Amino acid sequence: FFSEFERNDAISNPASYLLPLWEVFFLWGAFSFLPALARDIVSGHSEMFSLKNQDAMIDHINQVQSSWTAGKNFPDDISQDYLRQLASAWLPEENDLPSLPVLNALDDPIHTGAADPPAEFDARKKWTKCPSLLHIYDQGNCGSCWAVAAASVITDRTCIASNGAFKDYISGWNLVCCCIGECSKSCGGGFTSKAFEFHVKQGIVTGGEFGTNQGCMPYQIKHCSHHMGDKGKYPNCKSYNETVVPVCVNACTNKGYKTPMSKDRHFGKRAYQVTVADLKKELVEKGPVTMSFKIYEDFYLYKTGVYHHVTGEKIGGHAVRVLGYGTEKGESYWLVANSWNSEWGDQGLFKIRSGTNDCNSEENFQTSEPKV
């Protein structure tokens, strides 16, 4: 690309290799989008993704299998950007991120001395002093499933470890605002593993859902009606464009909360990964964990039954809260709480086939152990 004169000048004058400052900024601006583009490609975001053909997909799913029932959860004209944003968990295996350490059997008696787990288990039925186990969260118009799932698991486990004494909610919004950089892009997605590490290293304050005025930092994204059956309870998501910019602050955002932020932080002892072989014991002895898995178009259509991927393109990754396990019509499953409010799926819950690693669902079970 250089003329002969320019080549000779560059050889005799090494400083001529240096680009003018304006060219450096131009090239930086031109290529700075590539990491985000690469993450979208790796995450499987499909530009063709649409629910406009969901009737045909529903019919196909219900015809070719009977393990689960598909139906309309979302209207045909729901914003596609919104649907993609619901699946914003970054999966370690797709982003070259080391997993959390696996809890060594020598470090914890539940993997060596505990009795065999029961055939079926539901955390909501065992720990009745912990109402958070019954709660279905709503991440709203924000790609924060990674934070909401982690915060909900920490909430449940803190209550369980305290024998029901702790009944506050750990703030998912604190994670969205402050667990950033290599942890997340706030409402643009993140790693649950980093959220649990944040619990151990930085601590997380309390905070309920939007409008509750619970805790130090309540969630700041409004609920919106993205489902077929909400009947006007919330603003419609397809026309809901309010943007809340997450900002990490050093004081409680709930002005009516009397405990200062410095004294409201709750810490974890350790963050770790649970293998699928040990998951049942972990759930029975200590409570819920997060599951991060690949999400496909057909998952948006889940109503009841034991989900497994049937059809549709991969959209991205999703993080959710595992509550238990069981068997339905001879098919084993994990019982999971979603974060798309209680109008989605089976009252906000779903079951996903276990033992087959469907959608890579058995590769990323993560949690932390709270200090109480």
As annotated, the active-site residues are 145, 318, 338
Surface-to-core class of residue 244, CB atoms within 10 Å of its CB (0-12 exposed, 13-18 middle, 19+ buried): middle
Selection from 92, 98, 202, 87 nearest residue 148 by Cα: 87
Q: CA-CA distance, 274 to 104, in Å (whole number)?
A: 10
162-200 as b/e: b if 16+ CB within 10 A: eeeebebbbbbbbbbbbbbeebbbbbbbbbbbbbbbbbb
Burial label, 128 (beta-carbon count in 10 A; 0-12, 13-18, 19+): exposed
Q: What is the DSSP letter of 200?
A: H
Looking at residue 209, the DSSP 8-state letter turns out to be S
- β-pairing verdict for 68-70 and 365-370: unpaired
The CA distance from 140 to 154, in Å, is 20
Structure token pair of residue 212: 């509750």
Task: Report d(CA 219, CA 174) in Å as an integer.
Answer: 8
**How far is 339 from 150, CA to CA, in rounded Å?**
11
